[in-house]
Amino acid sequence: MIHLTPARREAFAFGLRSWLACVLALYLAFLLQIDEPLWAALTVWQVIQPAPGMAISKGFYRMVGVVIGALMGIVLIALFSQTPELFIVALALWVGACTVAASLLTRFRGFAGVSAGFMTALVGLGAYHAPEKVFDIAMARGAATLIGIACSLLVTTLFAPRRAQAALIQSLRQAISDTARRAAFPLEGALADRFALGPSLAGSLVGLEPVIEFAAQESARGRQSAGPARRLVADLFAVLTAKRALEEYLGRVGLGRDAGSIALYREGMALLDQVPAMMAAGKEAELLEKTRAYHRRVREAARATSSPRIDDRLADLAAHLERALTLCLALQDESRSAPPSDRAFRLHFHRDRQAAAINGARSFLAVLLAGAFWIGSQWSAGPFLIIPIVMVCSIFVSAPYPEAAALNFMKGAACGIGAAYLCTYHFLAGTGDFALFAASEALFLIPAAMIQLNPRRTAFGLAYGIFFFLVGEPSNAMTFNPAAFFNSALAILTGALVATLAFRLFMPPDPRRARRHVVSRMRSGLKEMAEQEPIPAHSEWQTRNFDRVYRLCDPANPSAIRGSQAREWYEGGLATVHAGNEVLRLRHLLREGALPERAATLGRSLLRAVADIAAEPEAVSPAIRRTTAALAAMTPPTENPGAWDRLLAVADELEAFFAAHSRFLNPERKPMNERIYGT
């Protein structure tokens, strides 16, 4: 008896589902007499996923892209069927625009951009020599694509396990434990040990968004849980930010001598130390009561101690931990529904517009050059030259190493073409029965789907299946033309090679440039926090910039700093998140109108100084020092002393930040340690 590990059983089950969905799509396309039924099976291979939520999400955005792409294909043929040069330019521009969209949109939303460019190429290139049939071609290929999406969703929904909601709850519980473990890290602990916890935790919190999204697609309960789950993640980011702010302050002035604040700090750290064990034991309710009681004591003590900044940070930390635990309990109770404000809550992430523009330009040039070669050479297989370029240049733009992914894609295309030849000319040539046809397909598709499930081999498996169907061309009346087969195969491999070379030759990934751009976006973000109306939420600033910080340290990202230098980048990034929070605190304080006019004027001067960071980064730190000195020279007002203390605290934090980290935020200025900041 063959013994399979759980991972291999899951891979084999995925292979069976992929094969079943492909043959079901082909059967329906044959039954309905759809022209070119291969597109139904090819679509299944593109959208099939191991879980229902993932399949629904990808299938939906594939459908959106197909509709947009088919319409654009008709438009291009209607406008440029008599002018091949303009047709190629228009197609290249459209594919470039779709690549930009695929780069900017997150997760499977980007697949809508990929699908729009791909479908436009299929319709436009297919109808180029027969423009009068463009509508028929669009309808046939669009219908086959929709059949493929439907079959993929049907098979996955019926036979794939539904585990997304349970996985989400488990991931959130683990995230609470990991966040508490980092927040409990002692002040006297080694920086290297603290850094060992930080970036990986930031990455795991950022990575919860797709888990939430797929759970929302899989079930009604998942949709109800999505907003509260995102709010919980934002609260965990806020816990980290509060502890980081506390560490910044205590690192400068120490814990002080106020016995009450010292006791509260130690009590808070002891509470955080208990969180992982209590979460593992299922004692969330008891933990919530402890956190709530601690939060109440901190708020009461803040009015009486001589260390209000410490108590404010502890209160902030306790408040967000309390809400995270409350949401965690609510998510596990199916009888409770989230309030409307939580249901609509969204997280915010970094969007790399610079990389998107480069990716779009690369796609435009690659399609333009390939199209020009096709028009000039009149190669009969020219469309098969362009299709792989469209796919590769848009699918892998978000991959950490797109050139390597494109190379694996080319290898998969070569293997898929070889498998298609064996299947078509040695297995199917003597087969007239659909059952034998399906069995023959299984020999080639099930192992490939198992390979595709491996993240390191996804590009290989994807290309294998796509080109297995594209050159094999399964149809009701099979035709066997080896010359046409090898002509198409040569065009496909040439297109895949051109796309791979495009990633190497046209503005290949530059880690230094990418790091500078991320830091530049953080600098621009500070300016936006100082000026944007209405005042942005703290969660918007924190979640987007934790994503940026993680990009600077993610070991899987080629743009990340390696080794010991990563710690300085990470600390500088977290300090920037803290500075943005202080800017938002200041804006809310000024909005309250509790400060005397002179103090409010100086507060607005602080905001103007921060807002100048994009135009005059060198002038920010001196301007903040002058404003802080002017505040120190003022006589403290007798009314609203709490507002005055908050203003002084913000000014002090901003002055300390720009004194310690101004070089991190100024990529144009050569820092003290160029190796650290990569500028």
The tens digit of pLDDT for each residue in 215-259 reads 999 888 889 999 999 999 999 999 999 999 998 888 888 776 677
Other residues' Cβ atoms within 10 Å of the Cβ of residue 487: 16
For residue 619, being part of any structural domain is answered with: yes
Cβ count within 10 A of residue 611:
17
What would the pLDDT profile of 584-603 be if each residue is shown by its tens digit? 999 999 999 989 999 999 99
Model confidence at 149: pLDDT above 60: yes
The alpha helices in 81-190, defined as continuous H runs, are 84-104, 109-127, 134-159, 164-183
pLDDT number for residue 200: 87
Task: Judge whether 394 and 99 are in contact, CB under 8 Å.
Answer: yes
Whether 1 is in a domain gets the answer: no
The structure's pTM equals 0.89
Helix (H, G, I), strand (E, B) or coil at 487: helix
- The structure tokens 């199917």 sit at 428
Tell me, yes or no, whether 146 and 32 share the same domain: yes
> What's the pLDDT band for 173 if we cut at 50, 70, 90?
very high
CATH number of the domain where residue 199 is located: 1.20.58
What pLDDT does 297 receive? 92
Residue 450, judged by CB atoms within 10 A of its CB (0-12, 13-18, 19+), counts as buried
End position of a domain, from candidates 278, 311, 343 = 343
pLDDT of residue 196: 79
Domain containing 295 equals 164-343
Which pLDDT score is estimated for 211?
A: 92
The answer to whether residue 34 is domain-embedded is yes
- pLDDT category of residue 30 using cuts at 50, 70 and 90: very high
Q: What is the mean pLDDT of residues 642-657?
A: 91
Say if residue 231 is in the same domain as residue 149: no
**Is residue 331 over pLDDT 70?**
yes
pLDDT beyond 70 at 677: no
pLDDT tens-digit readout, 398-407: 887 888 889 9
Written as one string, the DSSP assignment of 611-647 is HTTTT-HHHHHHHHHHHHHHHHHSPPPSS-HHHHHHH
**Interval 454-483 mean pLDDT:** 87
Cα distances from 173 to residues 159, 281, 285, 336, in angstroms, run 28, 11, 13, 18
Q: Is the pLDDT of residue 489 over 70?
A: yes
pLDDT (0 to 100) of residue 636: 87
Could you tell me which of 445, 334, 500, 587 has the C-alpha nearest to residue 45?
445
Does one domain contain both 368 and 495?
yes
Q: Looking at residues 195-213, what average pLDDT do you find?
A: 89
- Cα Dmax for the chain: 97
Give percent above pLDDT 70 in the chain: 93
Mean of pLDDT values over 414-424: 92
Count of residues making up the chain: 679
Residue 543 within any structural domain of the chain: yes
Residues 226 and 334 in one domain: yes
Nearest to 114, CA basis, from 43, 24, 23? 43
Both tokens assigned to 470: 């594209």
Structural domain count of the chain: 3
Q: How far, in Å, CA of 20 to CA of 539, rounded?
A: 44
Task: State the angle between helix axes of 458-472 and 482-505 in degrees (0 to 180), rounded to the nearest 10.
Answer: 150
Q: Are 271 and 263 in contact (CB under 8 A)?
A: no
Residue 180: pLDDT over 80: yes
Tens of pLDDT along 89-132? 999 999 999 999 999 988 788 999 999 999 999 999 999 888 99
Residue 592 lies in a domain: yes
DSSP assignment of 300-352: HHTTT-S-HHHHHHHHHHHHHHHHHHHHHHHHH-TT----HHHHT--------
- Give the model's confidence band at 15: pLDDT under 50 very low, under 70 low, under 90 confident, else very high: very high
Which among 317, 179, 144, 318 has a CA at the least distance from the CA of 245? 317
Same domain, 41 and 137: yes
- Residue 3's pLDDT band (cuts 50, 70, 90): low
Share of the chain above pLDDT 90, in %: 59
Whether 239 is covered by a domain: the verdict is yes
Peptide bond into 622 cis (omega under 30): no
- Best CA proximity match to 640, nearest among 592, 570, 583, 605: 592
347 in Cβ contact with 328 (< 8 Å): no
Same domain, 264 and 412: no
Residue with tokens 């059949």: 147
Residue 52 lies in a domain: yes
Does residue 495 sit in the same domain as residue 575?
no
The reply to whether 606 and 480 lie within a common domain is no
Based on the domain organization, do 373 and 305 belong to the same domain?
no
78 occurs within a structural domain:
yes
pLDDT per position as a tens digit, 31-85: 999 888 999 999 999 999 999 999 999 999 999 999 999 999 999 999 998 899 9
Q: What is the pLDDT of residue 417?
A: 94
Q: What is the mean pLDDT of the chain?
A: 88
pLDDT for the residue numbered 483: 87
Same domain? 25 vs 118: yes
Last residue of one domain, picked from the residues 452, 472, 505: 505
**Which residue has better confidence, 196 or 549?**
549
- 8 Å CB contact between 496 and 409: yes
Alpha-carbon span 418 to 414, nearest angstrom: 6
Q: Of 485, 505, 525, at which residue does a domain stop?
A: 505
Pair 481, 515 in one domain = no
Instruction: Say if residue 198 is in the same domain as residue 224.
Output: yes
pLDDT score at 248 = 85
